[in-house]
């Protein structure tokens, strides 16, 4: 019967220092292939609407006549399906999250 195992483990980690990061003083470690907010390059877009049709949450809106592309950041789940199907490679996933917001606005490009 032993009670010492956890004592030894706790002592080891007490001497090692915290396993967590001193946020916000220590910056977040960015993992290279992480799926974050969706980025849109307007220059290449042909407004074909494939991304809008494929988006599983209906977060993307495309208006071919007005040449407008819009995204509802709160609906986007960063799945990357639109990036996969875009014929002109104008969509990409960044490694950072979209900033917090208090309104449900659509971001229009």
Interacting residues toward another protein by CB under 8 A: 1-3, 5-6, 9-10, 13, 19, 31-35, 54, 56, 77-81, 84, 93
Contact between residue 70 and residue 109 where contact means Cβ atoms under 8 Å apart: yes
Q: Closer to another protein by CB, 70 or 83: give it.
A: 83
Sorted by sequence, the CB contacts under 8 Å of residue 70 that are 6+ apart come out as 60, 61, 62, 63, 106, 107, 108, 109
> Smallest distance from the beta carbon of 12 to another protein, in angstroms?
8
Two structure tokens written together for 45:
């877009």
Q: Is 52 in contact with 60 (CB distance < 8 Å)?
A: yes
Rounded to the nearest whole angstrom, what is the least distance from the CB of residue 69 to another protein in the complex?
20
Rg (C-alpha) for the chain, rounded Å, is 22
Cβ nearer to another protein, comparing 3 with 66: 3
Nearer to another protein, 55 or 90 (CB): 55
Nearer to another protein, 48 or 85 (CB): 85
Tokens of 88: 């002109």
Q: How far is the CB of 66 from another protein (least distance, A)?
A: 27
């Amino acid at each position: 019967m032993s009670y010492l195992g956890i004592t030894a483990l706790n002592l080891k980690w007490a001497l090692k220092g915290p396993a967590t990061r001193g946020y916000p003083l220590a910056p977040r470690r960015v993992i290279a292939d992480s799926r974050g907010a969706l980025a849109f390059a307007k220059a290449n877009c042909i407004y074909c609407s494939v991304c809008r049709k494929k988006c599983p949450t209906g977060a993307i809106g495309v208006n071919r006549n007005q040449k407008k592309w819009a995204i509802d950041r709160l609906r986007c789940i960063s799945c990357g399906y639109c990036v996969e199907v875009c014929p002109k490679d104008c969509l990409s996933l960044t490694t950072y999250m979209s900033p917090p917001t208090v309104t449900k606005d659509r971001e229009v490009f």
